[in-house]
Amino acid sequence: MKRYEKESLLKSFFLFFSTLLLLNAIIFVLNYKEQKNSLHVNIFNEIKLYNYTFKDKDMSIDIVPLKQADELYLLRIERDEIYAYFDIPNSTQNTLKIIYASQKYENQVNSILFTNLIYFLLSSLVLFGLSIFYSLYALKPLKEALHLLEEFLKDIIHDLNTPISSILLNLRILKQKDSQEAKKRIELSAKSIGSLYKNLEASIKDSPLHITTIDIKELLEEKIEYFQSLYPDICFELLIKTDKLHSSYDELSRILDNLISNACKYNKENGRVKIEVSQNRIIIQDSGFGIKDTKKVFNRFYKESERGLGLGLDIVKKLCQKLDIEIEITSELGVGSSVELTLR
């Protein structure tokens, strides 16, 4: 377990256990006081009974002047003795003092205290175990989130490393000779970094919509030209029945970037990508490996392979909801996938 995970676990455990222990201590004190009060009631009842029967070896009596008894029929508990005053029939000068055995009372109180302490310790032990369980349970989502973040950062580093390495390599080539091909590769690498940045920005930033008329043919041709350079073995087919669409250019461009990128990235060797536009509908089909679970692909960080960040389709779903675009994915393993966008 990593240092920050241990620290979170210890803090969570301390918070849970100290709170539960405090509640347990309050219950212990209240229960102890309640049982002690019940004991006092029982003792007073025994003293009252003794006042009539005088049959109890644990009690003794004394005759005291009435003026010393400030109040009758009341249990008094002092350091040295436990007693109560009762009147003596036909006597106006004296009163009866019934004394309860102090040692017996002390043993009874100690017994109550000991029993409650045992329950307190046992319950604290149970609360200790529960606190560990609750701490681990509370830490689990955080641990998973940290793991996802760690994997996400690794994927970003990996995805950035490829175009940056390409830029550095081709800059060396340009220093040696003026190469148009090297310039093209640098441009493509820079666009890859830009695309990654736009995806990260789209995942955390909610920008305002600017609905406009989009030349969808021009936009898709631009996308195909870019992805054709990245994936020269992919065969693209573009079928346009509608030239113009009304939507937000930036958001729709980001949606198409992610969908076409996936269609290329997860395609087979010498595969094909077909894009069809008709009325208010865009369909992107590929001959790739297919998707195992089409219901989970829109979950953030969900990946069915080691490639990618797991952000693309989450961003697509988010942007489609923002633009009120209905999206539907169908797929067959080993055959390919189809994504249908319906603009409303």
pLDDT tens for 31-89 read: 999 999 999 999 999 999 998 888 888 899 999 998 888 888 999 998 888 999 999 88
96 contacts 86 by C-beta, under 8 angstroms: yes
Mean pLDDT of 113-128: 94
Rounded Cα–Cα distance for residues 257 and 287 (Å)? 18
Between strands 59-65 and 94-100, the pairing is: antiparallel
Q: What is the mean pLDDT of the chain?
A: 82
Q: Confidence band (pLDDT; 50, 70, 90) for 194?
A: low
For residue 152, pLDDT beyond 70? no
For residue 310, pLDDT beyond 80? no
For residue 251, pLDDT beyond 70? yes
Q: Where are the domains of the chain?
A: 3-140, 209-343
Mean pLDDT of 259-266: 86
Rounded Cα–Cα distance for residues 44 and 75 (Å)? 6
Superfamily the domain 209-343 falls into: Histidine kinase-like ATPase, C-terminal domain (3.30.565.10)
Query: Of the candidates 240, 195, 235, 236, which has an alpha carbon nearest to the alpha carbon of residue 216?
Result: 240
pLDDT at 92: 83
287 contacts 235 by C-beta, under 8 angstroms: no
